[in-house]
Amino acid sequence: MDFEKQMNDKVVEIENVIQAYMPKEYTFQKTIIDAMDYTMSAGGKRIRPMLMKACYDLFGGTANVVEPFMAAIEMIHTYSLIHDDLPALDNDDYRRGRKTAHIVYGEDMAILAGDALLNYAFETATKAFDLIMSQNLLDIDTETIANDTSTLYVYVNELKQRKSVERALQVLSSKPGIYGMIGGQVVDVELTGSTLTEEQLVYIYENKTGALIESSMMIGAILAGVDESTIEKIQKVAYNIGMAFQIQDDILDETSTFEELGKALHSDEKNGKVTYVTIHGIKESRNEIEKLSREAIEILESMDGDSEFLQHLIEYLIDRKN
């Protein structure tokens, strides 16, 4: 497998999906749509939609019902970055190698652009319902459905797909919230400058960073129609990836360059944040990343289906330079 080429091809596919779901029409609200486009088109690795699609493929998903969720999860991730960069939080001037939204559009429009992306993410995700409606079965009487085998098959299949979309929407709406990403962000902000316990730091990491990665992989599995035990295993894989991803971020903040990272270095130290590296040092942090990633890969290897791309993706994430 030429992983680098495969990953680049997938990024192009994801960019096309995202652009297909971005708002196209506007009148007086043009500025906010420009700000949304500016931040969404800044590039990035598109890891969350990539993980979602990889899980969907792993478990045999073939329809395009996953695409609105791929766009939605990246909108939610991007909104969180816009708000993270604001002067009231991390006060960063650069993201992905170019000026942040509040520098280009002002704080007011940056706040609104983040709000807009969060709201539009859910509007986008609900479009999955349109993709599973092969015909308006609600207009067909129950007797016809019961007596026509082919119609009954389509009806039952559509009900299953609707249930999967509903379950995916539950995950999408809960993981970024107060029991997920926002919860982690709140603790991170409140405890900045304090001496964190290991428990507090893990809570921040598993929610602020890990929640969206868990959401992405769980949604891919859910839409592919797997059972709850498999979803739990995928959630564990995602938990490990999220923790390893954030610890690697800590290492990069200490060891990378602006050209590689695309944003200011030593921002954690500047903002008075305690990180995994602060507590354990770089060597032990790298050992923990290796342990977490190995566990994740072992779980994937125990599952049916071809998980080779996912395994390579995990290895890439822990070895990345930006």
Q: What is the pLDDT of residues 200-255, one digit of tens each?
A: 999 999 999 999 999 999 999 999 999 999 999 999 999 999 999 999 989 998 88
Q: Categorize the per-residue pLDDT at 186 as very low, low, confident or very high, splitting at 50, 70 and 90.
A: very high
Q: What are phi and psi of 319, to 5 degrees?
A: -105, 0
Task: Write the burial class of residue 262 (CB in 10 Å: 0-12 exposed, 13-18 middle, 19+ buried).
Answer: middle
Q: What is the mean pLDDT of residues 7-29?
A: 94
pLDDT for res 160: 85
Q: From its phi and psi, is residue 215 left (phi > 0), alpha (psi between -120 and 50) or beta?
A: alpha
Q: How far is CA 58 from the centre of its chain?
A: 17
Kindly list the domain boundaries of the chain, sorted by start residue: 3-319
DSSP 279-315: HHHHHHHHHHHHHHHHHHHHHHHTSSS--HHHHHHHH
Give the pLDDT confidence of 34-77 residue by residue, as tens digits. 999 999 998 788 999 999 999 999 999 988 999 999 999 999 99
Q: Which class in CATH covers the domain with range 3-319? A: mainly alpha
pTM (2 d.p.): 0.89
Report yes or no: 278 and 195 within 8 Å, Cβ to Cβ: no
Number of alpha carbons in the 13 Å side-chain half-sphere of residue 220: 27
What tokens appear for 256 in the block?
A: 């990378």
